[in-house]
Chains A and B, each alone.
Chain A
């Protein structure tokens, strides 16, 4: 019964993956790719490591790799940190007996229910410098009203805010599930022993959530690192101040006259390598703490 899936994955993931790696060593682009519609054979050639050398040199005409990498790391770390911290905070609050818990839960999950591209448009509207509600509110309390989505680092702050808003519900639900699997007797025993709320949180809640946390943080990091839709839609296509690695790869693939598939693939392979290194380091760190995963 696994067979169909193995076949599907093999054909649609592993084969393209191998091909993508291969393309990163060639000079394939719109002009050299085989095109059955025009009945034109492929004319791209093997160019060895040229693409990698061009990209890794950090040359701006190949996307300023190192600067974009730093921005990607800031974006990922800030997003995942806020996802986890806010998600955990809300999950702890929701895990208590409290009037209206079901209603709060439904309302807090709402950002997850709305398709991400809709949310992206909504935030783009709210962030507008002239007529956006956010600047109206800031103005009403006497704060400055910046141009959020312009050509400055504020645009990155703005897309991080949107991404945090989008991602918190998943973290909250996952951590809430984890919290509910921690036996209540542990808390009762600790309370009888005179443990403070903070001590109970540190010594029961956090260890009890460890396996859930490690999975969702890893998944969250991977998803955020590869997040495309939010940035692309909120900043309206191309804004160098919010350009992360996947965005640049897409720009190279899709926009521009030449459609440089080779550089897009090179970026793809580099992204994948970075994530693989991260995941194995993360796994090793967990294993040191005695976590079998």
Chain B
């Protein structure tokens, strides 16, 4: 039978199996998020029922509580996180683009060491850096401030981003640079006006990576930000809903949905670049 089928065609059974597997995998991927969404519309007391129902006593009270500050200082946390993530993204994209372009186009002394160090920095556990960085922040007077965190996130995001972008710039022909030079552009002009626009997919992936690094980081934020409620980021602040004896799941769920929305929007905008950006970038090395 199989020899009579057109090449690439599938038997109905194989097709069913394929779809069944993908549907099951998608369900597992989506379910936790879906469940948080459902919980966020339940009254806080109903979130801990012994037999959870899909919908009971639909309410938007959790959202009101969280947004008006009745439960936790959500808006301050949100503002801090947006500020930190945005600054990290802008700085990281700009610096890693210039670096990635430089290592893609020029050979200079220390080239191999630079490339290797980009990879090695991925290996540094925060545990070895946390004490000295704490010390540096203390002496710079940045301890407990957002700016200090931005600097720290940049150090983890930039090497990886530069590494990804280097490979991406490699796929842009150097002829374009030469043409630009002949037309009288400076090195930086070539980079800024010709190469950057062409590298948009790679830059989108980089921005996304940098954004997520800052948006979701827990350890440094927990250790370095001051204990004052207004200075916390979301990753730290949301932990106040998880107490030793009682967790406010309804409020936590509502806050989580509010936090996830911007991340998912950013993600949706860049996801079509992810496959091309990543495969041209990080993975080909």
Contact = CB atoms under 8 A, between A and B. Distances in A.
Interface of A: 1-2, 4-6, 8-9, 12-13, 15-17, 19-21, 23, 28, 33-37, 90, 93-94, 96-100, 104-119, 121-126, 128, 130-131, 133, 136, 165, 168-169, 173-174, 176-178, 180-181, 188, 191, 211-212, 215-216, 219, 222-223, 225-226, 228-229, 232-233, 236, 245-246, 249-250, 253-254, 261, 264-265, 267-269, 271-272, 275-276, 279, 293
Contacts of A8: 95, 151, 154-155, 158
Interface string B165-195: 0000000000000000000000010010000
B123 A5 contact: no
Nearest to B33: A114
Given A90-B25, A180-B279, 12 more contacts: A5-B98, A93-B21, A113-B268, A115-B235, A125-B39, A128-B48, A177-B283, A178-B279, A246-B125, A268-B130, A272-B124, A279-B120
Given A16-B133, A35-B138, A178-B283, A9 B19 contact: no
Contacts of B247: 125
A254 B222 contact: yes
Q: Which 10 pairs across A and B sit closest by C-beta, in order of nearness?
A: A177-B279, A268-B128, A249-B127, A113-B267, A16-B132, A268-B127, A19-B132, A115-B216, A107-B26, A1-B102
A216 B191 CA distance: 29
B283 A215 contact: yes
Interface in B96-132: 96, 98-99, 101-103, 108, 114, 117, 120-132
Contacts of B59: none
Contact of A124 (B114, B125, B242): B242
Nearest to B217: A229
Contacts of B134: 261
Nearest to A130: B50
B123 A188 contact: no
Contacts of B75: none
B128 A269 contact: yes
B129 A113 contact: no
- A23, A116, A125, most chain B CB atoms within 10 A: A125
Interface residues of B, number: 96
B51 interface: yes
B260 interface: yes
A106 B25 CA distance: 12
A9 B129 contact: no
A276 B154 CA distance: 22
19 contacts: A17-B128, A34-B139, A96-B18, A107-B30, A110-B30, A111-B33, A113-B263, A115-B215, A118-B256, A122-B33, A122-B256, A136-B51, A173-B274, A174-B283, A188-B7, A219-B122, A222-B123, A226-B125, A265-B131
Contacts of B239: 233
B162 interface: yes
B32 interface: yes
B249 to A, nearest CB: 6
Contacts of B136: 12, 15-16
A249 to B, nearest CB: 3
A215 B285 contact: yes
A112 B212 CA distance: 9
A12 B151 contact: yes
B202 interface: no
B259 interface: yes
A293 B112 CA distance: 12
Contacts of B52: 131, 133, 136
Interface in B198-239: 212, 215-219, 222-223, 234-235, 238-239
